[in-house]
């Protein structure tokens, strides 16, 4: 590079740096103004740097005044056009950003937002993200509404299930106090039965509150799946016999699951009791356990006659009970629940990083339901 070229580059750089510094200061002072000002500053700095460089070089290189005027006029005209384009582009960007702001206000006020395909890719990406946020909020509102409905149903069911035995216990205690009870021993047994049932209900409520609070303690240990199923079947068999329901179970040999023994036992028991509760007399309940490539699978099949779409979607909600599918057994009150058992099952399974679902079995008319618990391999 020749000495003249070095001088030209040096003077042009000095002019550009000086104009750029002024432009940066102006941009900082106007940083809270519209983007149109920022774009205008970019154009002004560009043209100013060119004019400053031309002015410095013209004096050094003895460019004629006429030539300097020609160059200056060309730069000013080009700068004016560039400034108009920049202001127009800034106005367009401002309109697109204003549309996004209106959409954000609509999302805040009404909870809905429709993506706007206009504008540069960055604004379009932001618009699409707002639309996805709107969808997630709508889903959250639906879940919240369903949970609120479940809470109301739970309060209603629990109030009913507590009021009825309390009224009966009060009547029996008054009869015992007045000495008019014909069979005091039977009254005492009935009171004890009602107390035990209410204790189980309170225990379920406490367990559910711990699940929702996220304070369920999982003490993992190796448990044989066959032992879990056999113990649950042994405990539920008297109830199944009283209801006229056949209860059977099969588990692959040597299948081991790692998890909280008490929690998994409660899951198995709740699923089996729920199946017995909804299976008519002379029906059957089958429990199957096996190992899969992804983990452990436990299935409980009943003969409830199947569920429609809405019950399947709500079966694990707190306080939900399907009166249409429930059958009246001889033991009646022993099988009544407050709609907490399956919600507890879902909470415990998810605390083990697993999932539980329900599906109808039988075609073309469903004959029953299958509850499927999947636990990951450890």
pLDDT of residue 111: 67
**Rounded to an integer, what distance in angstroms lies between the CA atom of residue 120 and that of residue 142?**
33
**Rounded to an integer, what distance in angstroms lies between the CA atom of residue 276 and that of residue 265?**
17
- The distance from CA 238 to its chain's CA centroid, rounded to whole angstroms, is 40
Contact 247, 233 (CB under 8 A): yes
pLDDT of residue 230: 92
Token digits for 273?
């009791």
**Domain-by-domain residue ranges, the chain?**
3-110, 218-377
* Inter-CA distances, 33 with 119, 126, 349, Å: 20, 21, 54
The residue among 309, 300, 377, 310 whose CA lies nearest residue 342 is: 300
Strand partners, 38: none
Alpha helices in 111-248 (DSSP H): 121-178, 184-213, 225-243
For 258, other C-beta atoms within 10 Å of its C-beta total 16
For tokens 């996004």, the residue is 100
Strand partners, 357: 372
Contact 273, 239 (CB under 8 A): yes
Full DSSP string of 293-332: TTEEEEEEE--S----HHHHHHTTSTT---TTT----TTG
Rg (CA), the chain: 38
**Rounded to an integer, what distance in angstroms lies between the CA atom of residue 115 and that of residue 286?**
50
- How would you write the pLDDT of the chain (378 residues) with one tens digit per residue? 677 677 767 777 777 777 778 778 877 887 777 776 777 777 777 777 777 776 666 666 656 677 767 777 776 776 677 777 777 777 777 777 777 777 777 776 766 777 777 766 777 777 777 778 777 887 888 878 777 776 776 676 677 667 777 888 888 888 888 888 788 888 888 888 888 878 877 887 787 777 777 777 788 889 999 999 999 999 888 888 988 999 999 999 888 998 888 889 989 998 998 899 889 988 999 999 999 888 899 999 998 888 887 777 778 876 666 544 444 444 444 445 556 788 888 888 988 889 999 999 887 788 889 999 999 876
Burial of 237 from C-beta contacts in 10 A (0-12 / 13-18 / 19+): middle
pLDDT of residue 333: 44
Mode of pairing for the β-strands spanning 368-376 and 256-260? unpaired
Contact 286, 353 (CB under 8 A): no
Asked if CATH classification 3.30.565.10 holds for the domain at 218-377, the reply, yes or no, is yes
**Rounded to an integer, what distance in angstroms lies between the CA atom of residue 211 and that of residue 347?**
6
The residue among 98, 124, 318, 65 whose CA lies nearest residue 205 is: 318
pLDDT of residue 378: 67
Full DSSP string of 182-212: S-HHHHHHHHHHHHHHHHHHHHHHHHHHHHH
């Amino acid at each position: 590079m020749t000495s003249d070229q070095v001088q030209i580059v040096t003077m042009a750089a000095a002019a550009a740096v000086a104009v750029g510094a002024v432009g940066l200061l102006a941009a900082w002072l106007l940083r809270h103004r519209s983007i149109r000002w920022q774009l205008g500053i970019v154009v002004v700095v560009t043209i100013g740097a060119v004019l400053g460089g031309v002015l410095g070089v013209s004096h050094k290189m003895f460019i004629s005044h006429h030539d300097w005027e020609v160059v200056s006029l060309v730069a000013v005209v080009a700068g004016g056009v560039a400034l108009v384009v920049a202001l127009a582009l800034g106005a367009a960007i401002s309109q697109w950003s204003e549309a996004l702001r209106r959409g954000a206000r609509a999302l805040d006020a009404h909870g809905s937002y429709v993506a706007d395909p206009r504008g540069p890719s960055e604004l379009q990406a932001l618009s699409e993200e707002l639309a996805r946020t709107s969808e997630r909020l709508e889903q959250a509102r639906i879940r919240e509404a369903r949970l609120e409905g479940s809470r109301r149903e739970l309060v209603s069911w629990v109030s009913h299930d507590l009021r009825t035995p309390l009224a009966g216990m009060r009547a029996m205690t008054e009869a015992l106090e007045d000495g008019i009870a014909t069979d005091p021993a039977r009254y005492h047994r009935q009171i004890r039965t009602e107390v035990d049932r209410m204790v189980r209900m309170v225990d379920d409520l406490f367990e559910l509150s711990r699940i929702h609070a996220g304070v369920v303690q999982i003490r993992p240990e190796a448990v044989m799946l066959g032992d879990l199923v056999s113990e649950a079947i042994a405990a539920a068999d008297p109830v199944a016999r009283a209801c006229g329901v056949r209860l059977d179970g099969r588990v692959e040999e040597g299948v081991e699951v790692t998890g909280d023994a008490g929690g998994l036992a409660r899951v198995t028991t709740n699923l089996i009791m729920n199946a017995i509760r909804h299976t008519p007399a002379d029906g059957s309940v089958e429990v199957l356990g096996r190992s899969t490539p992804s983990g452990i699978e436990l299935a409980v099949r009943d003969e409830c006659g199947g569920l429609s779409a809405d019950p399947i979607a709500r079966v694990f909600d707190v306080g939900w009970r399907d009166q249409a599918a429930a059958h009246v057994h001889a033991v009646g009150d022993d099988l009544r629940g407050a709609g907490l058992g399956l919600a507890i099952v879902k909470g415990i399974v998810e605390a083990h990083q697993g999932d539980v679902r329900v599906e109808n079995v039988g075609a073309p008319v469903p004959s029953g339901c299958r509850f499927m618990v999947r636990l990951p391999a450890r």
